[in-house]
A and B are shown apart, each in its own frame.
Chain A
Amino acid sequence: MKTNIILLIAVVAGLAFTQTSCNKFDYSEPDTSHDVYTQDQVATGCNTTLAHIKGSYKTLLSAQNGFLQVEDDMIFDGYVCANDITGNLYQSIYVRKIEPDDDGNMVDNCIVIGINDNSLWTTYPVGTHVKVNLKNLYLGTYSYVPKVGMPYITSAGNTRLGGMAKFLAPKNIEVIGFNDKAPETVPIDIDDTWLSQNKTDPTFMYKWTPTLVRIRNVQLTGNYVTIEGKGQRRPVYAVYDDKDAGNGVNDSIWINNKPFCLRQSVLSSFSSDTIPQKNVDVIAVLSRYSDWQFSLRSNKDRSAAGADDGDVQYSDGTIDHK
């Protein structure tokens, strides 16, 4: 009996061990203060500029669609001015740089970096200073918008320039700093005159595609949805059933009573929010499809008309710090 008791105690102690050893499976939180998911150093320093790239590849980058593979190190830097924080700009970051061109004039350029990943906004928040090496990536356009990424086949069977595989981003992009007050984070202030006067000028459109803009006192319109069980209808940013093959819908942004396209993803976090009925000021990414096209980074990119809440940069490059 004594032996039995000893054995029983031993077995129970063993049991206790297996259970208390649970502690070794309590995982400590990793230190993520360092940027473990971007390249420590993409290569050496920058060997080109965004301005130089847009100048050198003007034919390629002004086509509607097209791409080429970059075989050598081609490294430039810029600041993130827009990202996928709501999913409306899908799997993309917009890298912008205001810098002198070859002639010493200040120029403002922006390019889309496509990455087949989500939550890019957490790695590349607005104001992130990045260095990008285009080696082994593809440079080209998607619907006139200059872009870096990899080709893909659309659902319609066409080959287009999409995002790079998510595992290539850490190889080709290095985060080198952060400054959310950088001039590149400040939208340029435009109006209907700016848009109308220049939309027939390919050079002008090329120069400003894409970029971050602010438009004042505009009206947004979208389709209506019926609130189930209530019989009420309300206009929303994107009605899911209206989506096209790109999971988007085209709303309208009325600038001085002239309609322009407001491109909206049905998968964005605010797609079903009610569109404001009053005029508003909006910050948006300006790009092109057949004409100018606007996309909101988030529904926070709007405020009541006249209620300025941020710095504005004018198209001549001057910044009005509010």
Chain B
Amino acid sequence: MRKKRLLLLPLLVAPTLVWAQTPADSIAMADELDAESFVVSDFDIDDEAPTSQNASSVASFNDDMFLMKTNFRFGHSYYSPRHYDQGYRSTFVNGALINDAETGQFRFSSLFGGLSHATRGQQGLTAYEQNGLNYTDIGGGANLNLRASNYGAGSRLTLSLTNRNYIGRLQFTYASGITPKGWAFVVSAGGRYGEEGNAKGTYLKSAALFLGVEKKFNPHHSLALSLMASPTDQATASWTTEEAYWLANSHYYNPYWGYQNGKKRSSRVRKTFEPTAFLTWDWQINDRTKLTTTNIFRYAQYGQTYINRTNNAADPRPDYYHYMPSSVFKVYQVIPDEWQLHEWQNYVDFWRSSEENRQINWDKMYMINHNSVAEGGEAVYFLEESHNDQLAWNFATTFNKVVNLHYKYDLGLNFNHTTGMHYKTMNDLLGANYHTDTDRFAASDFGAYSNEAQNDLDNPNRRIGKGDKFGYNYNIYVNRAQLWTTNTYVVDKFSLILSANVGGTTIQREGKMRSGRSPLHSKGHSETAKFLHGGAKYQLGYKFDAHSQVNFSGGFEYRPPVANNAFIDPQIKNDFVNNLTNEMAFHLGLDYKFSYGRFDGMLKGYYTQFTNQVEQTQFFDDIKQKYSYLTMTGVEKEHYGVELALQYAFNTQFSIDFVGAIGEAKYKNNANAFITYDNADEVQWYDEIHGHDLQVITKGMRVGCTPLTSLSLGARYSIRGWFFEGRLNYYDRAYIYFSPYLRLSDVIPDVSPTLNEAGRYVYAITPEQLKYEGRTLLNLDGTVNRYVPKEQEKFKGAFMLDLSVGHFIRLHGGKTLSINLNLTNVTNNQNMVLRGREENRNDNTDKTGKTKQYDFGRNPKYMYAYPFNAFLNLNYRF
């Protein structure tokens, strides 16, 4: 009997060996390096970006050299793989999707910030390969295994010192390993602290705690419970204009802070706290069959402070355009008169004469409020906090089956219920006693105490004290269910992976306040939008020999719109965007990988087309003097490019590598547009000037703020526990976030032609005007010849040199100590623009084309790459 069992053993084990993922040790040293030393989230000074750091930046892609290398290299350039939005990347914990159901995205730092010990075992996931966990989106993703048994027995203490947005980090982790009784425990605690970050007026205070317990009941069943939270307070930095940077004489000028009683105080403090529980049941049914079920319960609390004011109050932002020297006269166009030069100089002198002059003046706001109180008035200035909280339940169950040597499949069911809670509270009345809950824009239009000005008609003119909810208050409910499968067939040199999913999503809003601007559509439940969606994808592989392989891949995906783009004015109204439908993504790929002795490489090509996307932006319309929502529908984009990774090892100690991604990500069509206003039921969907549906002239625009060209050349040398690494990175073809408003068909200024002698149209415009303002070129009969929108700015390409050195020491009793120093931007390049955005503001003051002196078109806001910075990591295992 025993002999028979032994004979059967290879048969049982063989499929497992065939299908086992190859746990290549390719990032072993990176692990010792401490992957988090490369994490952008610790580097990020920005708080207004639509995308954020993703989990996979520290994930391990065992079988994809390109993703493995770009993870570490390109993080600080805001490189986004294939330039997809973060919402196209899936982040799983124990196999359950944890992406935010309202935005589609996942903010790694909000949940896992400061817990690098607990989250270091990430598994990178590509879009097509069978991962045994879940259905991965087209941008790939990562899975975090937070089961207590996943952590090797022992303790670990890490101290990090840096000069980024914090100065110190301390982490301690203890893991029991699996005890003889089948228990496993892990506890990890840490904290990050920085009284002032690399940008003035910023700080970071964060604690983090992770607890895990797992019980293996028998070889078939185990149950794992993990709890984590990392409460974080962070004062953030702002993007601003080149003029403001010039006046402050620093590319790291931050206008968000000011002195109060001589102490620095930030106006933008972000508070995050996401206590989350993960409960996973693993059922190893037999050697070939497994069922994994995970529940995630997450209560996310996110708050962000802003200064607000009543109607008759000066804008407190020091870089508000009225306070800039270039608001005196058109500095880009005219030779100034004497008085203009004198006044311009006055502004310049004011900016430069004192740091306080270019920061927020808290004391003055207090004084104004005190004086208002003395007159019997209310707060003129106040600090409000906008909240985007969430209560979410994610459920995933995945069935894995290895049928035979040639076929295996996964089958899974996902469910998510999310309640998004959106409201604002009074954080600080700045010395006043109350604020009346009315809308200042509506008050201008309808009267200060009109019904329309009321934010809450059921409680008119309510006096708001500290901590009270006011302004807006609504919930968004999202339910999502998905059934999916992935199947892999291997026959000789061919492999075929087929995946498909089908699902349903519902979105609903519940208004908690009856707004005076929309009394019939603001309070109570909206209708429920329902979407049936799904998709399929494949990867066909052919292995030429033991050294090389080619894969063809492709697929399509119908995706529901994300909830935060689904409503035309979510803060007030229950109304959905018109013609809200699934968007569609169609994608193709080809990759070739090889490994010939010392020379390894991977070459990939891809093409992705998105259709029917919805994008929304909100802004204050200068001309209408109304807070506005601009929604683009029917957006089409295409992303394509090539990716290359090469590595040559001269010997076991010295290797060089190259990794590059050159792509394109642009809008294919002119999007349909409509505009709604906070204080009116009016919807503008028609371009009255040109007689057609309103459009945003997006054709040819690029996806913003991700370098479309990223190249990196690296060298690595290691000897006797030491390693040295250098990386020269080059980034280029990053474009600014373009303003949809400035490209509205009825906002781009018209120009009529004259006929020249040759009978051709001649337009009286300069190349400068065309570049910075755009023009609608008309025909002689006044019809549109073509739209030439304002040119989208491309940032200058730049090099960045990073160096790392580390030493690994084995101590007595199996203890180890590793010391790593990572130096970023060694050449101290302070002129590298990483990101920027145009403002949704028109240079025209009214419909007649009269212009302001300040030129918004030439004053976009930028963020620069950090100067030289260092990250020292001391890691002691015992």
Contact = CB atoms under 8 A, between A and B. Distances in A.
Contact of B444 (A155, A165, A267): A267
Contacts of A4: 155, 174
Nearest to A228: B681
A138 B339 contact: yes
B431 interface: yes
Given A11-B171, A19-B231, A37-B364, A266 B444 contact: yes
B189 A15 contact: yes
Given A117-B314, A118-B313, A150 B380 contact: no
Interface in B249-297: 260-261, 263, 265
B191 A14 contact: yes
A8 B206 contact: no
Contacts of B85: none
Q: On chain A, which size bracket covers the interface?
A: 35 or more
Interface string A166-183: 111000000000000000
B447 to A, nearest CB: 3
B350 A30 contact: no
B728 interface: no
B447 A273 contact: yes
Contacts of B350: 165, 167
Contacts of A12: 189
B343 A14 contact: no
Interface stretch (B551-559, B759-767, B848-856): B848-856
B866 interface: no
B116 to A, nearest CB: 14
A86 B371 contact: no
Interface string A111-141: 0000011110111010000000000001000
Contacts of A245: 845-846, 848, 850
Nearest to A230: B451
Given A7-B172, A157-B850, A267-B444, A15 B347 contact: no
A4 B157 CA distance: 10
B261 A30 contact: yes
Contacts of A153: 329, 853
B29 interface: no
A315 interface: no
A236 interface: yes
Interface string A20-50: 0110010111101100110000000000000
A270 interface: yes
A280 interface: no
Contacts of A240: 444-445, 625
B800 interface: no
B367 interface: yes
B613 to A, nearest CB: 33
Given A69-B339, A228-B680, A167 B357 contact: yes
Contacts of A21: 193, 205
A95 B853 CA distance: 29
A36 B339 contact: no
Looking at chain B's contact residues, the main secondary structure is mixed
A141 to B, nearest CB: 16
A270 B329 contact: no
A267 B205 contact: no
Given A156-B850, A157-B850, A36 B367 contact: yes
Interface string B336-358: 01011011001100100000010
Given A18-B207, A118-B312, A236 B444 contact: no
Contacts of B340: 151
Nearest to B845: A155
B445 A272 contact: yes
A33 B170 CA distance: 44
B343 A11 contact: no
B186 to A, nearest CB: 12
Contact of A269 (B205, B366, B448): B448
A11 B172 contact: yes
Nearest to B431: A29
A15 B232 CA distance: 11
B841 to A, nearest CB: 15
Nearest to A69: B339
A156 to B, nearest CB: 6
Nearest to B349: A167
B155 A7 contact: yes
A273 B449 CA distance: 8
B371 A122 contact: yes
Nearest to B266: A25
A30 B322 CA distance: 27
Contacts of A281: none
B415 interface: no
A84 interface: yes
A84 B172 CA distance: 59
Contacts of A66: none
Given A19-B231, A69-B339, A155-B851, A36 B364 contact: yes
A78 interface: no
A69 B375 CA distance: 36
A222 interface: no
A271 B446 CA distance: 8
Q: Which of B265, B312, B328, B878 has the most A CB atoms < 10 Å from its CB?
A: B312
Contacts of A16: 207
B362 interface: yes
A85 interface: yes
Contact of A122 (B170, B205, B372): B372
Given A22-B233, A267-B311, A11 B170 contact: yes
B450 interface: yes
B223 interface: no
B688 interface: no
Contact of A30 (B187, B260, B846): B260
A146 interface: no
B209 interface: yes
B190 interface: yes
Given A4-B174, A155-B851, A18 B452 contact: no
B329 A165 contact: no
A172 to B, nearest CB: 11
Q: Which 6 A-B pairs have the closest CB atoms?
A: A272-B447, A32-B367, A122-B371, A155-B850, A15-B207, A118-B314
Interface of B: 155, 157, 170-172, 174, 187, 189-193, 203, 205-209, 231, 233, 260-261, 263, 265, 311-314, 322-323, 328-329, 337, 339-340, 342-343, 346-347, 350, 357, 362-364, 366-372, 375, 380, 431, 443-450, 452, 519-520, 625, 680-681, 845-846, 848, 850-853, 878
Given A19-B205, A118-B314, A155-B852, 20 more contacts: A7-B155, A7-B157, A8-B172, A8-B187, A11-B170, A11-B172, A15-B190, A18-B191, A25-B233, A30-B367, A36-B364, A37-B364, A69-B342, A87-B311, A116-B322, A119-B368, A123-B368, A152-B328, A228-B452, A240-B625
